[in-house]
Amino acid sequence: MINKTLIWTALIGAFFTTIALKFLQSFNFISWSPVGWAKKWQLFASAHFTIKWALLFVALVLLYIIVYFAVSFTTSIPPSITALIIGIIVVFAVEWTIGSPKTPLEAIKSISLPYFAVMAIVFRFITGTAVFMKKLSDESVK
């Protein structure tokens, strides 16, 4: 099921996410650095910032390919619902990992709404495309 649509969806989603994260960081909508993993894990800590952002882009492409495959099996659920559920889970997990809050309520209060909006848009794009292509391929088999 690897086709051009999967590759283009993952690439465009990762590109939009990378640009949006840079925008959110530049205007202080998020209090953390999207490439802060390089310092925390001591991987590429001294590397140029473009290499860190390029690695983030590649990781996002791989993540979005996995998400595309996973949500292609949810054709009976509306893509908007699936995208919101995945977005909530991802945003909560990222904010929990980065912020290390003591309670779940603290984690909910620390969530950046612009970050959640970006992730909801990206996951809606991916789920909508995956579900549409799966339904299209199922109908062409008939």
pLDDT in tens, the chain (142 residues): 678 999 999 999 999 999 999 999 999 999 888 988 777 777 677 788 898 899 999 999 999 999 999 999 998 999 999 999 999 999 998 888 887 788 878 888 888 999 999 999 999 999 999 999 999 888 877 6
Instruction: State which residues form the domain around 13.
Output: 4-141
Q: What tokens does 95 get?
A: 């904010």
CA neighbor of 85 nearest in space, from 116, 50, 131, 43: 116
Task: Tally the domains of the chain.
Answer: 1
How far is 62 from 84, CA to CA, in rounded Å?
A: 20
pLDDT of residue 142: 66
How far is 67 from 119, CA to CA, in rounded Å?
A: 13
Contacts of residue 35, Cβ cutoff 8 Å, sequence gap at least 6 = 49, 52, 53, 56
Residue 86, CA distances (Å) to 27, 67, 79, 109, 116 in order: 25, 9, 10, 19, 11
pTM exceeds cut of 0.75:
yes
